[in-house]
Each structure stands twice: as structure tokens, then as C-alpha cells.
Amino acid sequence: MEDNKKEIMLYIPIGVKMEQEFFTGFGKKELIRSIIIMGISFIISFLIYLFNTSQSVLVVSLLSSVFGSIMLCVKDTQNQSVLDYIINIINFYKEQQVYNYIGNIF
């Protein structure tokens, strides 16, 4: 009876991605997130430009917002981005941290 059992070998490939990525750790979902972050930071940059009226400040703030938004959204080897870490920390601190136990003592 044991001779009839076949040993099934299962090969799990490493590095297979669920979605197409533009570069390592940056796919369509991260692109959408970074575009939203860039839009918000562009508005903030132009508001700063209205008060400062220096073109160098505008250019530096626009370029830093592009690179910063991409760096916030790129996922690392544990499939988490900096933005995901920040969201997880905020959700953790929103949860209940103190658990008061009331028990009967004899």
C-alpha cells in the first residue's frame, strides 16, 4: 500500500511578483500613491512660492517632492514602504493600549 503513494514535490519560485513593476518595489499601486503625494506637495510648493517669490525655492521644493514621494512609496524586501510603516504606526497608536482588568479577590 505504501508503494502506491507518490511523493509530490512542490517547488515554490522565489521573487515572483503578483503585479507588474516598473522597477523593483514600485508598481501601479505605488505610482498612484506617489502621484497623489506629488499633487499635494506641488500645491504646498506653489503656496510657499507665493510668499517667497524665489524661483530656486520653487524648483528645489518641486524636485524634492517628486523624489520624496517616490522614496515614500517604494517597497523594501519585506513588502512594506515607508508610507505603509507610518500608516501601521498610526493605526497601532489609535488602538487601545491600556487594558484594565477587574477581578474578584476572594
Predicted confidence (pLDDT) per residue in 23-40, tens digit: 888 888 888 989 999 999
In a domain, 4, yes or no: no
Domain that holds residue 73: 20-94
**pTM exceeds 0.85 for this model:** no
pLDDT above 80 for 19 = no
In a domain, 11, yes or no: no
At 58, which amino acid appears? L
Instruction: Give the integer Cα–Cα distance in Å for 61 and 45.
Output: 6
Higher per-residue pLDDT: 101 or 106? 101
Q: In the chain, which ranges are continuous DSSP H helix?
A: 28-52, 55-73, 82-94
In a domain, 50, yes or no: yes
In a domain, 103, yes or no: no
Please tell me the predicted confidence (pLDDT) of residue 36. Answer: 92
In a domain, 1, yes or no: no
